[in-house]
Amino acid sequence: MSPGFLPLLRVEDKEIVSTLSRLGPLLVPFQDHSNYQFPALSEIYLFVDNETAPDPDHIISLLDSGIQKVVVPVSLAKQLAPTVPKHRLLLLLDVANVSAVTETFKDSVSGVLLKTPTLDPELISSVSKFFSKSSIFVLPASQCQPSRSSIREISNVGAALVIATDQLSTSASTDQRLHVVDAFLASITSDRADGLFPTVVSSYTQGDTVLGLVYSSTDSIKESILTGKGVYQSRKHGLWRKGETSGAVQEVVKIRLDCDSDALQFSVIQHGEGFCHLNRSSCFGELAGLAALEKTLQARFESAPEGSYTSRLFNDSALLRSKIMEEADELCQATSREEVAFEAADLIYFALTRCVAGGVSVADIERSLDAKAKKITRRKGDAKPQWVSATPEVIKPLPPKPQSIPAPPPLPQEVEIDPFDPIRMRTYDLSQISLSQRADLLRRPVLRSSEMMAKVQPIVEEVRLKGDAALLDFTAKFDKVKLQSPDEVREAIDKAYSNIYKFHKAQAKDDALVVETMPGVVCSRFARPIARVGLYIPGGTAVLPSTALMLGIPAQVAGCHQIVFATPPRRDGTLSPEVVYVAHLIGASAILKAGGAQAIAALAYGTENVPKVDKIFGPGNQWVTAAKMLVQNDTDALVSIDMPAGPSEVLVIADETANPAFVAADLLSQAEHGVDSQVVLLTVNLPQETIAKIEEEVDSQARALPRADIMRQSIPKSLLVQTRSVKEAIDFSNDYAPEHLILHVRDAKDLAEEVQNAGSVFIGPYSPESCGDYASGTNHTLPTNGYARQFSGVNTQSFQKHITSQELTKDGLKVLGPIVATLADVEGLGAHANAVRIRLRELQA
């Protein structure tokens, strides 16, 4: 919304007009409007009084030309109301004539400019109540000097004071003139102890896409208003003149208040790399949609690779014209919602290419649309002769949107990142942040489980109802695929198998637990394997035979009768030979050549060829996790799962004994899993020089690794948190509950005793997390996303169920029976008590 005053142009002063146009609309007398040169983006309210009233057609032509609103007397308003939309019409009204306005007529305008002899807040308040939900502007008849207090007083009753520009100044306030900045600040208040104003910065050229959240002070607001540049208030460093050192300056187009007048919006034209200190357009992530397309096309226009398709379009106007005509025709021929969306996207791409080639931006297009929307006079709108069809066609309405199965998520689009930027984590100091900020650091990226459940449910239901018909490329027997894996890979898998088998075999407890709780009463507990288990082995960006080992070996050790692998096929339709080899080693009975939610559903319900299982194990993406959680809650499926899963994560604690190269390598070993992986480094009293060495190692090692593009996206989302003591670090770690915890500290083995929440702990400098991932013997299927507070990693007992038994002798029942009967009577369960007493009577006979 606009500030608490409305400037009325009385003098031709380009500087003050330019300044005021950034703050809101300008009230311009009708007789003078043609004399002014207004900034291109100005909002103009045309002030028409009784003496200068033109005919209604002239008013409408001015509205057609772009005038935002007109302020007209009652007689003219009645003539315009049937034609002009109410949001373009303001009523000029003397305070003495308010009662002459009827209830019906007041709904034909969006506001009132009220002429008053004096500033009477009580009277203005009563008028404001009568014109509820309308804008109220107050123009005092006397030339009383406006002040901050009078602006605030009028603002408090829901109105804005009209101030002539000859009473305003862009220099210091005097007895005759009020500084523009003082007038703007008069009606705004801060609800913060430091007096600052939260400020949303948005991109005017990108549809006011949010760039970031900053703070403003009275000093920064003043400088922004007067210079037209983006100036804000840093809570640490004082005035922050955006782009002063980086060159990423801002031109302020508009400054607006929120509805409570305690927060600001700066709509700016951003220059340079972008608003964010990470050289991104926005602090809230990369651009999307039209804004992203425009940015990409503008970059391609400057330096498109020679011979690329985009380069051809920019250099071959005939080709571009043909593509625009072709896509427009295909859009007209489209019949389904999907086709319309698809063809419209193509048309927009080629049309925007034409615009960029001609130096036209999306903002230019939006201004043209806004100008067209302001036109009140309507044309007939017939097509030009060359486009008129001899036989008019009727466009049929599109069919209602079906509740179809959602498509699998598309591959993540590559984010444009400067390869020369350092690959660096976000840094925080626990001693410098609040408890709420500390809590924010413990949170992982939000996964919208309810949305994923809604997307996954149709897939699961389809497989449940249609079985094999909903699954493609299913292979029941793994031995039909020929193994073509190098010998060294086979040998590595064999050794890893041996170590993992040895550790998991040691976890198996074959002996029953037998306890005599009282004489003649023996209780026991014994383990039995879960008969049928499904093991999900992800595919995606990496081959994961290690996951097949980690899930298959404990199932084999536990003695599961039926072990079914599910893994997505490769692009050529075949299975990874390494995974097939592991399936052979552990004695799998079948391999389902499918992935995603449909594979989970097939395992849960079974199909004509896919065996139903009793428990499903394995990591996966959001679709897999949502499907696992969905089927475990379905009583028809009768299936359980190992644990919820999320993106991979590691937390490293490092003190002065740590080797920076080792620390960096451990962080990167998890950061390469995916762009949503999060790694956390907790430093313990490390000097800045050592922290800088670790950051240098992260950057240099990442650049040399094959999955550097992934790490360029995951590392900036990760955290470097400085702590003052080992206790502070271990407390943070226990609250974070990481999947992997690596201890690069003195006496690491002793510190491991303090660990309460973690999936797996790696002790000392020579225990890289990679060893646990592959071959040390421990299991790498671990709880993520903070679930290490409640869940253990997969182990042999995960594939077992425990059955209890009890055996009572006659003497045992004589002692225990009366106790049981008494408790059953207390609960009112007579049959329970009877089952005991009938035996006791038999023993007494």
Q: Active-site residue numbers?
A: 739-740
Instruction: Report the distance separating Cα 222 and Cα 188, nearest Å.
Output: 13
Given the DSSP bridges, would you call strands 426-429 and 740-744 parallel, antiparallel or unpaired? unpaired
- Please name which of 213, 229, 206, 212 lies closest in space to residue 275, comparing C-alpha atoms: 212
Instruction: List CB contacts of 209: < 8 A, sequence separation 6 or more.
Output: 202, 203, 281, 282, 287, 291
8 A C-beta contact, residue 162 and residue 138:
yes
Q: For the chain, what is the radius of gyration of the CA atoms?
A: 36
8 A C-beta contact, residue 362 and residue 206:
yes
What does 457-468 look like in DSSP terms, one character per residue? HHHHHHHHHHGG
What does 618-630 look like in DSSP terms, one character per residue? ----HHHHHHHHH
Instruction: Report the distance separating Cα 339 and Cα 44, nearest Å.
Output: 42
Q: Quote the crossing angle between the two packed helices 688-703 and 660-671, to the nearest 10°.
A: 50
**Beta-ladder partners of 744:** 654
8 A C-beta contact, residue 53 and residue 78:
no
**Which contacts (CB < 8 Å, 24+ apart) does range 445-453 have?**
445/647, 445/676, 445/678, 445/717, 447/622, 447/646, 447/785, 449/626, 449/629, 452/622, 452/623, 452/625, 452/626, 453/626, 453/629, 453/630
DSSP state of 288: -
Chain Cα centroid distance, residue 213: 16
Chain Cα centroid distance, residue 662: 33
Q: Can you give the three-state secondary structure of 324-393, one letter per residue? A: HHHHHHHHHHCCCHHHHHHHHHHHHHHHHHHHHHCCCCHHHHHHHHHHHHHCCCCCCCCCCHHHCCCCCC
Tokens of 350: 């080629």
Query: The dihedral of CA 105, 110, 115, 118: what is its sign?
Result: positive
Start-to-end CA span in the chain (Å)? 93
Instruction: Report the distance separating Cα 154 and Cα 495, nearest Å.
Output: 82
Tokens of 721: 């948190």
Half-sphere exposure of 113 (CA within 13 A, CB side): 27
Given the DSSP bridges, would you call strands 264-270 and 197-203 parallel, antiparallel or unpaired? parallel
Tokens of 336: 């389904």
Helix, strand, coil % over all residues of the chain, rounded to 5: 45, 20, 40
**Which contacts (CB < 8 Å, 24+ apart) does range 310-318 have?**
310/353, 313/350, 313/353, 313/357, 314/353, 314/356, 314/357, 317/357
Other C-beta atoms lying within 10 Å of the C-beta of residue 17: 20
Instruction: Report the distance separating Cα 578 and Cα 143, nearest Å.
Output: 89
**Beta-ladder partners of 45:** 27, 69
Chain Cα centroid distance, residue 626: 18
DSSP state of 37: -
DSSP state of 540: T
Mark residue 332 as left, alpha or beta (left: phi above 0; alpha: psi -120 to 50; beta: remaining).
Answer: alpha
